């Protein structure tokens, strides 16, 4: 990548304009880039070309891939519904390798440590590069500059946007489902390998040229509910086992026991209380980490005390949220993914536990999305800087070990709160400048640390409401200085020139890039 | 329309190749026309152009239409969920007239006698022509050659196909919904003006440039369930009353009391029994007319006697089908529209009463559709001919008084049975040649009349199973001759040269056209 291809974007970050041989638009500011084109237009099909009896089952994944026309340079998509218990993605690339296919673009909604076996296919050129979250070892591999192509990381909404807009044209989508019928109607709520829902594959089903559903629970037509509609599906493959159930549910589904984290959660809930965010009919989204779960729990206590309820909560759902729904503290859960089996059960059985998708919740190139309508979101970050900018993909040593998830998309809710420790392993989390910019500071309202709360100066309303509350308010600069007083000025990561990943903003523009760690 | 624009299609019908100035492909035979293009690609949107708080409500339908850019020559779509109780469509054209707009194409999923007021707008040029079913008076007006442009009639699936394929580009879709929130999430199951579901508007919401939701039951976000997704919606309008509830439900929701019709229904059920169509796990679709309801009732009796159940029934649903679901005779209702309030209630409350849409059920230009998977469908017809061709849009006097509905799409089920009287008002229904060809005879398997059953010679399997059953089997030729022996040879309709409507086949080709009645 020659340096002539770099420009300074609206966030002041030097970003490439050509990535993997294709042009990309630099970030222009929030709401500034208005797309001009038409959505991606898939090929018109005819049922004359499909089995008359609607039975699309083929004998194996290999047969389905061959019938889908698998060839060099194609884009293959998969989905992280099975998280670290996925057994499908590796098999796709085993087949590709066996067939001598090269130079594939792997376009997962996220990849996990269970996908370590694909490293050998990145080495031998079966896969040229991964576009999607690389949690853990794959991210480390990319950070070391070993991946042939450049990674592109997108939010959940950004992934939908990229597919919808034709920025990423998927040749073959492979969708794992805990239930499917012969026609390809599929869901994630029935069967053994339940993932709750299959929303991350929605864009792929709508826009990919070929769609393969893989299941280990083959049911008679009709498979109800159909979260994936068979009318988009080309082939159905039945396997013995598509996922490891105990690894499908997230690792972090228990409330934190750390006194520090509990304190952060309590501070967050208090902040929402004194500023009037928690009120009858409000809405909130909190993640699946131990601190986030604790926040939900504190919210529940406050709501019980006040005798109020929330109109809706956004999932990732888990047993704590489900308890609140069942107790009547929440009217609806609008859910993007279920993080435990209570979430799966509730989604399956409770009509007020509603499926959403990256299209409804997060797509920035739609006529609005749900993220805008949420009163408060509680998010994490690996780093925050004195301009309230935040990072979620790299650690301060430069290694890219996480994906963006729905994080960027959630920044559009009415109030964004980041409860974070002031430092981790004696490395300050609040810094002069984030290593990688994922979210612009103007969208981030409150930083809550164990040593004080910093409110974004743009939110004069929140400052006014919080100032006489007894909460430990500080400036972000003060928080940074406290961190440095304890830990010392943090060392800068040792980075090379090579760009190993581009970070997309929700509108498809490049907000930052990640460089090789030396 | 010059005669040079006519060709004889694969069904031997002389059809125009240019309609309203646009090229159309003549019918080429079942499954012969394979589309080559890409789906219609709507403009990419940005939430930066929509209200930050997600509130899309505007003060009036007029304001919504003006903000949608209503202008001369546009295509405006509406939907027949409210059937003859619709109060919205007429108001759209009142606004258009008031604004001096001319030459609109009205693209309803169906129009009803309640839309008689638009006749004056057809007269004064506000509307150039209607593309969609014209039930009753509007059809008569078109048949008299008074409509400026040429009508185009499509099946429910054909309408989805035409929109998906970009054959009809909708400028503004107006969707009436018995519940909506400010974001445009909408359904037809809650509120007063309940229509059950909103599936006929699905294509419009996905592909129209501007989408307006009109409701008389405005609910707090989120409107659950969302049958129409607000992410496709531009504006929301709240009115006092969008439909007349008692006219929303269909007129024919009681089992026929006519002994002749009951006999037809009984014969139909017996035929399905002796030929083994009714068996454990089978599936069926029957319409909402009095005879069809009686067929369902006879099916229920047979199933009870045999101790078997159907895997699914396709709706139009009604209380008889709902009773069967609740009794356990049917596992699932896959429903396209609810014909009475029992249907609405069941759809709202019973997870096994499942919404479908013209996309899932009927779209011929998808990767299969549900209609193919149904074991037997019971349909009506205005005429059938000795080649088993059938007509559903015109009467034998040439007047076009009905739409196609899902009729053409259902012909792809495994067995198609038409229980029809041999004659109506002393006019034979079984004829030498149908006045208008809507369904090719090779897809129509059995004609059941009060004077005998004719099985299509192509279905040797059914002939073999039925021949020693005691059922009154005859040839279609014999039925025709019996009808003529009683009624005399029917007079041919008096038709002019002017083509007043084109009839589309499920793949978008022109299967026949309808001429002016003199």
Report pLDDT digits (tens) over B342-363: 999 999 999 999 999 999 999 9
Give pLDDT, residue A441. 98
pLDDT, greater one: B411 or A245: B411
B366 and A165 within 8 Å at the Cβ level: the answer is no
Taking the C-alpha atoms of residue A475 and residue A372, their distance in angstroms, rounded to an integer, is: 27
Token readout for A425 is 């392993």
Cβ count near B67 (within 10 Å)? 13
Residue-level pLDDT at B288: 75
Residue A1: per-residue pLDDT: 47
**Cα separation, B235 vs B241, whole angstroms:** 18
Q: Which alpha helices (DSSP H) does A183-228 contain, by range?
A: 202-207
| pLDDT above 90 for B287 | no
A116's CB contacts (< 8 A; 6+ apart) are A137, A138
DSSP letter at B492? P
- Looking at the predicted structure, is the pLDDT value of residue B248 above 90? no
Q: Within an 8 Å CB–CB cutoff, is residue B359 touching chain A?
A: yes
Mean pLDDT of chain B: 96
CB of B255 within 8 A of CB of B293?
A: yes
Cα(A120)–Cα(A126) distance, rounded to whole angstroms? 9
* Interatomic CA distance for residues B201 and B79, integer angstroms: 6
Is B163 a residue whose pLDDT tops 90? yes
Q: H-type helices in A199-318, by residue range?
A: 202-207, 245-248, 259-274, 290-306
Question: Which residues from chain A sit within 8 angstroms of residue B222, using beta carbons?
Answer: 311-312, 332, 334, 354, 370
Q: Is the pTM of this model over 0.80?
A: yes
**Distance of alpha carbon A98 from alpha carbon A177, whole angstroms:** 25
Q: Does B208 score more than 70 pLDDT?
A: yes
d(CA A138, CA A400): 9
Give the integer Cα–Cα distance in Å for B149 and B145.
10
pLDDT at A253: 67
Q: Report ipTM for this prediction.
A: 0.96
Q: Taking CB atoms and an 8 Å limit, are B38 and A38 in contact across chains? A: no
Give A220's contacts (C-beta < 8 A, 6+ positions apart). Answer: A181, B281, B311
CB B414 within 8 A of CB B275: no
DSSP state of A111: E
Burial of B145 (0-12, 13-18, 19+ CB in 10 A): middle
- Distance CA(B286)–CA(B283), nearest Å, equals 10
What is the mean pLDDT for each group of 10 consecutive residues in chain A (518 residues)?
A: 77 97 97 97 98 97 98 98 96 98 98 97 97 95 97 98 98 98 97 94 98 98 97 98 86 78 96 98 89 93 98 93 97 94 94 96 98 97 98 97 97 98 95 98 98 98 96 98 95 96 98 98
Interchain pair B224, A184: CB under 8 A: no
Which residues numbered 137-166 in A keep a CB inside 8 Å of some CB on B?
164-165
Q: How distant is the Cα of B360 from the closest Cα of chain A, in angstroms?
A: 6
- The Cα diameter of chain B in Å comes to 72
Look at residue B1 in the predicted model and tell me its pLDDT.
Answer: 47
The answer to whether A368 contacts B183, with C-beta atoms less than 8 Å apart, is: yes
Banded pLDDT at B2 (limits 50, 70, 90): very low
B490 pLDDT more than 50: yes
**Number of Cβ within a 10 Å radius of residue A498:** 13
Find all residues with CB under 8 Å of A488, minimum gap 6, and list them: none
Peptide bond before B222: cis, by omega within 30 degrees of 0? yes
Per-residue pLDDT at B257: 87
What is the Cα–Cα distance from B99 to B460, expressed in whole angstroms? 61
pLDDT for residue B255: 83
Residue B290 has pLDDT above 90, yes or no: no
The whole-number pLDDT of residue B43 equals 98
What angle separates helix B319-327 from helix B341-349, to the nearest 10 degrees?
40
Query: Which domains can be identified in chain A, with CATH numbers?
Result: 55-131+168-248 (3.40.1080.10), 259-493 (3.40.1080.10)
pLDDT of B418 above 80: yes
Give pLDDT, residue A245.
Answer: 83
Contact B517, B493 (CB under 8 A): yes
**Chain-chain contact of B364 with A37 (C-beta, under 8 angstroms):** no
The SS3 assignment for A213 reads strand
Q: For chain B, how many helices (H) and strands (E)?
A: 15, 32
C-beta atoms of A332 and B224 within 8 A: yes
Q: Got the DSSP string for A379-448?
A: ---SEEETTS-EESSB-TTS-B----TTHHHHTTSSEEEEE--SEETTEESEESS-SS--B-GGG--EEE
A251-303: pLDDT as tens digits = 556 788 889 999 999 999 999 999 999 999 999 999 777 888 899 999 999 99
> Chain A: nearest CA to B353, how far in angstroms?
10
Q: Which residue has the tokens 């509609």?
A: A229
Question: Which residues, 6+ apart, have CB-to-CB distance to B445 below 8 Å?
Answer: B388, B415, B416, B417, B455, B456, B458, B459, B462
Query: Which pLDDT belongs to residue A252?
Result: 58
Partners of B49 on chain A (C-beta within 8 Å) are 34
User: What pLDDT is attached to residue A250?
Assistant: 64
């Amino acid at each position: 990548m020659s340096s002539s291809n770099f420009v300074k974007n609206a966030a002041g970050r030097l970003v490439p304009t050509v990535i993997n041989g294709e042009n990309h638009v630099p970030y222009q500011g929030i709401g500034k880039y208005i797309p001009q084109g038409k959505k991606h237009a898939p090929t018109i099909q005819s049922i004359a070309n499909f089995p008359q009896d609607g039975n699309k089952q083929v004998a194996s994944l290999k047969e389905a891939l061959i019938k889908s026309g698998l060839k060099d340079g194609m884009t293959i998509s998969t989905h992280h519904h099975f998280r670290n218990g996925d057994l499908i993605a590796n098999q796709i690339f085993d087949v590709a390798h066996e067939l001598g296919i090269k130079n594939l673009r792997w376009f997962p909604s996220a990849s996990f440590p269970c996908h370590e076996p694909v490293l050998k296919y990145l080495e031998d050129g079966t896969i040229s590069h991964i576009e999607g979250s690389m949690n853990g070892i794959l991210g480390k591999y990319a950070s070391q500059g070993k991946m042939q192509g450049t990674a592109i990381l997108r939010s959940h909404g950004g992934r939908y946007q990229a597919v919808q807009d034709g920025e990423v044209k998927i040749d073959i989508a492979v969708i794992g489902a805990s239930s499917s019928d012969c026609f390809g109607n599929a869901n994630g709520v029935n069967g053994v390998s339940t993932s709750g829902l299959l929303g991350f594959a929605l864009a792929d089903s709508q826009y990919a040229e070929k769609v393969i559903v893989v299941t280990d629970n083959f049911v008679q037509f009709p498979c109800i509910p159909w979260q994936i509609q068979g009318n988009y599906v080309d082939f159905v493959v039945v396997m013995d086992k598509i996922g490891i159930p105990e690894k499908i549910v997230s690792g972090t589904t228990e409330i934190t026991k750390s006194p520090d984290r509990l304190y952060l959660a309590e501070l967050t809930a208090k902040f929402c209380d004194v500023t009037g965010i928690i009120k009858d009919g409000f809405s909130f989204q909190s993640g699946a980490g131990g601190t986030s779960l604790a926040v939900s729990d504190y919210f529940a206590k406050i709501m019980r005390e006040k005798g109020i309820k929330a109109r809706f909560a956004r999932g990732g759902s888990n047993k704590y949220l489900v308890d609140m729904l069942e107790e009547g503290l929440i009217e609806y859960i609008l859910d993007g993914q279920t993080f435990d089996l209570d979430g799966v059960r509730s989604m399956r059985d409770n009509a007020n536990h509603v499926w959403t998708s990256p299209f409804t919740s997060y797509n920035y190139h739609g006529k609005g999305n749900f993220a805008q309508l949420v009163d408060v979101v509680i998010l994490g970050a690996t780093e925050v800087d004195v301009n309230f900018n935040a990072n979620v993909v790299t650690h301060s040593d430069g290694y890219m070990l996480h994906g963006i998830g729905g994080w960027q998309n959630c920044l559009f809710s009415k109030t964004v709160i980041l409860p974070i420790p002031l430092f981790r392993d004696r490395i300050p989390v609040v810094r002069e400048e984030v290593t990688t910019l994922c979210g612009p500071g103007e969208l981030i309202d409150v930083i809550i640390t164990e040593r004080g709360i910093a409110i974004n100066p743009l939110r004069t309303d929140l400052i006014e409401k919080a100032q006489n509350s007894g909460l430990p308010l500080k400036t972000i600069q003060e928080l940074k200085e406290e961190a440095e007083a304890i830990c010392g000025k943090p060392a800068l990561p040792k980075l090379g020139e090579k760009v190993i990943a581009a970070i997309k903003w929700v509108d498809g523009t490049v907000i930052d890039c990640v460089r090789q760690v030396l």
